[in-house]
Amino acid sequence: AQKVTQAQTEISVVEKEDVTLDCVYETRDTTYYLFWYKQPPSGELVFLIRRNSFDEQNEISGRYSWNFQKSTSSFNFTITASQVVDSAVYFCALSEAGDNFNKFYFGSGTKLNVKP
Amino acid sequence: DVKVTQSSRYLVKRTGEKVFLECVQDMDHENMFWYRQDPGLGLRLIYFSYDVKMKEKGDIPEGYSVSREKKERFSLILESASTNQTSMYLCASSLSYVDEQFFGPGTRLTVL
């Protein structure tokens, strides 16, 4: 089973629309960390946010917001009033402490196309 | 400024060649990672290292090996390159498992 599932392979929106990228994770650990990364067309992954399993507060950063819900094992990412510069592949990731060493898992990514 | 560098952006090799991909980070990070990225599959972890000379297999280690002789450098080795190893290879580092990973620009490897 996938540890991190991003069911939306590709999403297309028109500029100024709001868009939500879904992320569902699976873990048995009580302590874990969730991340979102952005990979623009230039290719280099850029870190967006980290959330630990004990902090379910939603976070807002400008046009970006994140909704963490442990009850549904989801960590969704919303872009408000999307812009063309938001076009990228977005990855959700999970980090958990394994028995001997930590483990990392990335989702398959969601490609976001924002059209003018 | 935090930096992860990879030795090549593009590489073309022949089947059966031994290939070295080098990664260097300047942040004194403990953890270093090698991923490959293929369309529709996201990032898949090949190997990671949590300390000098320490390494652990990721999800797809077959056909690869790694070396970490110094803290700042993590090398990925393809002992005998095959066409199915044509991919984008990404190196990353992090201070610990609770911290974000910093990624290099990637190496696009083509094996003919």
Chain segment B31-89, per-residue pLDDT in tens? 999 999 998 888 999 999 988 888 999 889 999 999 999 999 999 999 999 999 999 99
Burial A90-112 (b: 16+ CB within 10 A, else e): bbbbbbbbeeeebbbbbbbbbbb
Q: CB of A79 within 8 A of CB of A19?
A: yes
Average pLDDT of chain A is 91
Residues 6 or more apart in contact with residue A113 via CB below 8 angstroms: A10, A11, A12, A13, A87
User: Residue for token digits 């399993």?
Assistant: A53
How far B100 CA sits from the closest chain A CA (Å)?
A: 7
Chain segment A30-64, per-residue pLDDT in tens? 889 999 999 998 888 999 999 989 888 888 889 99
CA distances from A51 to A6, A54, A116, B55 (A): 17, 8, 32, 26
Q: Are A35 and B100 a contacting pair at CB < 8 A?
A: yes
Distance, in Å, from the CA atom of B88 to the CA atom of A95, rounded to the nearest integer, reads 22
Position A88: which residue type? Answer: A
The answer to whether the Cα torsion of A1, B75, B14, A42 is positive or negative is: positive
Q: Which residue has the higher pLDDT, A100 or B102?
A: B102
How far A38 CA sits from the closest chain B CA (Å)?
A: 11
User: Residue for token digits 């999403």?
Assistant: A11
Contact with chain A for residue B27, Cβ under 8 A: no
Token pair listed for B59: 């999800």
